[in-house]
Amino acid sequence: MKIDKERLAMLKEIMALDFSALELNLYLDTHPRDQRALALHNEYDRKLKELKGIYESKYDFLTHKNISECPWEWIKDPWPWEIDYEMGGK
């Protein structure tokens, strides 16, 4: 399912940032005192929260933990497996 170009770009940006934060999360699990990694993690996390807020108010919920109008907005298509990511990471 095709989605709006601008929306797809923002979703991919969120996915990339989230992945970076997760990679640092795993690294920090076994290096909890690495201050450089920790600072980077926190920087990505701040950016991510901001971007997710914009995406959710503009397009669609990323989690059900949102205040919804009627009808319940969480069920909106497309779901992640249905989205056409147009050549993936490129």
Partner 1 sequence: MWIYEKKLQFPAWVEGCDLNIAKLLFAQYGGPDSELSAGLRYITQRYNMPIPEAKAILTDIGTEELAHWEIIGTLIYKIVDRATPEEMIKAGMGPHYIQHGRDLYPHDAAGVPWTAAYIQAIEDPITNLHENMAAEQKARTTYEHLINSTKDRGVIETLSFLREREVVHFQRFGEALRLVQEYQERMKHYK
Residues that bind partner 1 (CB under 8 A): 11-12, 14-15, 18-19, 22-23, 25-27, 29-32, 60-65, 79-81, 83-89
Tokens of 65: 């933990």
Quote the least distance from Cβ 26 to partner 1, whole Å. 5
CA pair distance 87, 90, nearest whole angstrom: 6
Distance CA 13, CA 8 (A): 9
CB 51 within 8 A of CB 17: yes
Residue 36: enclosing H or E segment and its boundaries?
A: helix 35-58
In the bound complex, what is the minimum distance in angstroms from residue 56's beta carbon to partner 1? 10
Whole-number minimum distance, CB 23 to partner 1, in Å?
A: 7
Pick between residue 40 and residue 62 the one whose CB is nearest to partner 1: 62
